[in-house]
Amino acid sequence: MAASLLGLAFSLPYAIIFSTFTALPTLAAKLNAKPLPSRFDQAPNPDQEPMPPSLWHNRRADYRDVQKSQKEEEEKRQKEEKEKQEKAKQAQVQAVKDVQQQAINANNQAVALGKAGRFADAIVQHEKACKIDPSSQEFKINLSAAYCMYGDQRLKAGDASGAAHLYRKSLVVLSNNALAGNKLSQAIKKLGMDPTLADNRIGLGDQLAAGGDLAGATLEYTLAMQLEPGAKTYTKMGDISVRYGQVQNALSWYRQATVKNPNYGPAHRGAGFAYMMLKDYTQAASSLRKAVIADPDDRASGQALVEIWRKQVASQPTLAENHLGLGTALQLSGDLDGAEAEYMKVEQLDRSNPQIGPARNSLVKARKHKEADKHREAAETFFSQGLKREALSELAQAAMMEPNNARYQFQLGEYLEAAGDYQNALAAYRKSVLIDPRNEEGARRMRELVGQLNKDQQHQQHHQNHQQQQQNSRPPEQAPPQRIQLARPQEEQPSPVAVNTNYKGVESSPYAGNFRTHDESPTREVEKRDIIEKTTETAPTQAASTANNSAVSAGIHPVLKQAAELEQRGDFNGAVEALKAALPDNLSNPEFHHRIGMDLVNLGQTSEAISELRIASALDPANRIFADDLARVLKIHQKSLSSNGAGEGR
């Protein structure tokens, strides 16, 4: 009974469940059904207690809310940044427009001032416009034109120097301003110089560089280089590059100069100092050594070379090569005793050094040359005082000590020519050229001397033929008049001036006979000698009449004839006085100014001579003789200043 009841109890639930599933249909779940209500959906109850902060203040925000917030902030920041950049760009554009407008206003104001003739004020405004807008070519053209017009104004007022300064500024602003270049040449002519001579341009550049006008100096050096692209002009370009701090560019110029002339000392000196600025002491020592060899009087290079080797000896005092280098530097700079002391140290450190023998032999030759040079200096002193015989004796002794010295032979030729010994002078010039085939100055002197000797022979032959014709035409009973022979003793030779000590023409300081004080054409030479001969054969009044008639017939001024006679007798003072007396009536005659200048040179008054020669060159710029003589006298004057300590040494 119990078992049946238990079975009924277990079977009844199964029957109910089975009957339920079989009676009800199958339904799908509705995902969009409204959620079950919660207590938070109910209307707030003011009487209900709020949630305490301990349940919500540490709650972290949902990551989606955080991302959304960050995105909104980034978009806002980018928008603000874009607006800020746009405003800055607009402000910059406006600022540029304002600046350009300022430049335009300044340029327009300058043009108005220029039309009114106020060029100084106009230049200030043009410079302001160019400073505001340096890229404007129109502003540069206007500024260059203003400088040029202001220069014209100063030139008309007689200020040639100020006009030249303004023309240079015009060319600095606009280098292709051909009008300014032509005007600059005119201003230089007004100053009494030939603008087509490179030496004149270099001299102007040196003056401007000394005054701090580097732009003007660069312009003059550039123009000089265009006229004569040689070692001297390249060296000047290197020097001005150093002044600007462009050391590498300066080295490039110095290299070009040494290619043009490997023996040009200033180029090696400039390169040596440039290498020292770059701390390349090996190259510096090499260049300075070449500079001292090319010019033994270059004390700056010698001192720098010695200083470099002293530092080497101080760093390694036991190295024989350093002492040998120092000894060589001392020998080149003229300190022979110091060089001998260093050579002794080399022998102590390294007796088997193969270079000590040649160094010793070189030192012996240097001492011999120094002794010979003393005789040369004594000869120059005697010659400057008019003691020609003593000068020749001293210079001959120097030439005997160093017979293969081209400089001594050239100078000996000058002294012999000044003394009237033309044959021996010609031999000395020839020997100097044979020793140094590049001695162009010696060859030129030979050519001039040979030409002079040929003219003298022709004149002598002509005179002998003339006398023979007179004797043949004279009756037998008429005896020829006694002819007075005018001898020119040694004491009546023209007073010498400074003598050339550089036969290569770098520093030309020739004796008086090197300059042509008048036209030396054959016609004028024959006429001059005929006048002198007629003067000696006839009475003074008849001679004066004959000379004046000859002068008028030949178209030559009588005063120039008179000056020629005085110059033949060596009376340069009388020639100057005669020419100056006639100068008021011949102010526009360049021959008078040139003759006065050359006679003053023979008197040693180079400063006054330069003024007269500049006037002659200005009156006749196309005359190359005037220009060459002016250039030579300028070199003589510069050398005399250097020798007296008034200027810089080379």
497 in Cβ contact with 512 (< 8 Å):
yes
pLDDT for residue 567: 83
Does the residue 371 lie in any domain?
A: yes
Does the residue 170 lie in any domain?
A: no
If we measure between CA atoms, which residue out of 468, 395, 460 comes closest to residue 432? 395
pLDDT for residue 367: 87
| Residue 409, domain CATH | 1.25.40.10
More confident: 480 or 344: 344
Does the residue 527 lie in any domain?
A: no
pLDDT range class, residue 31, cuts 50, 70, 90: low
If we measure between CA atoms, which residue out of 421, 413, 401 comes closest to residue 441? 413
Side chain identity at residue 438, one-letter code: R
Q: Tell me the C-alpha distance between 457 and 450, whole Å.
A: 11
If we measure between CA atoms, which residue out of 301, 290, 238 comes closest to residue 263? 290
**Predicted TM-score (pTM) of this structure:** 0.55
- Mean pLDDT of the 319-332 span: 89
pLDDT range class, residue 336, cuts 50, 70, 90: confident
Q: What number of other Cβ atoms are within 10 A of residue 614's Cβ?
A: 22
374 in Cβ contact with 402 (< 8 Å):
no
pLDDT range class, residue 452, cuts 50, 70, 90: confident
Mapped onto helix, strand or coil, the DSSP state of residue 629 is helix
If we measure between CA atoms, which residue out of 499, 518, 513, 527 comes closest to residue 570? 513
pLDDT for residue 645: 44
Does the residue 588 lie in any domain?
A: no
DSSP state of 506: S
259 in Cβ contact with 230 (< 8 Å):
no
Quote the tokens at residue 527.
């006429």
More confident: 122 or 502: 122
509 in Cβ contact with 639 (< 8 Å):
yes
pLDDT for residue 505: 37
pLDDT range class, residue 66, cuts 50, 70, 90: confident
Does the residue 420 lie in any domain?
A: yes
Quote the tokens at residue 407.
């400089």
Q: Tell me the C-alpha distance between 386 and 418, whole Å.
A: 11
pLDDT for residue 493: 40
Q: For residue 448, what are the domain limits?
A: 367-466+494-514
Q: Tell me the C-alpha distance between 457 and 422, whole Å.
A: 13
Q: Tell me the C-alpha distance between 567 and 574, whole Å.
A: 8
| Model pLDDT for residues 571-580, shown as the tens digit of each residue | 888 888 888 8
Does the residue 246 lie in any domain?
A: no
DSSP state of 171: H
- The residue count of the chain comes to 650
Q: What is the CA radius of gyration of the chain?
A: 49
pLDDT range class, residue 488, cuts 50, 70, 90: very low
pLDDT at residue 69 greater than cutoff 90: no
Q: Tell me the C-alpha distance between 379 and 389, whole Å.
A: 9
More confident: 10 or 212: 212
Share of the chain above pLDDT 70, in %: 75
Q: 508 — alpha (psi -120 to 50), left (phi > 0) or beta?
A: beta
What is the tally of structural domains in the chain?
Answer: 1
Task: Provide DSSP, 181-194.
Answer: HHHHHHHHHHTT--
More confident: 236 or 417: 236
Does the residue 503 lie in any domain?
A: yes
pLDDT at residue 249 greater than cutoff 90: yes
pLDDT for residue 610: 85
Share of the chain above pLDDT 90, in %: 20
pLDDT for residue 352: 86
Average pLDDT, the chain: 78
Q: Tell me the C-alpha distance between 391 and 185, whole Å.
A: 44
pLDDT at residue 273 greater than cutoff 90: yes
Q: Tell me the C-alpha distance between 373 and 370, whole Å.
A: 5
Does the residue 543 lie in any domain?
A: no
Instruction: Map 60-121 to HEC letters.
Output: CCCHHHHHHHHHHHHHHHHHHHHHHHHHHHHHHHHHHHHHHHHHHHHHHHHHHHHHCCCHHH
**Lowest-confidence region among 205-214, 221-230, 525-534:** 525-534
pLDDT for residue 37: 66
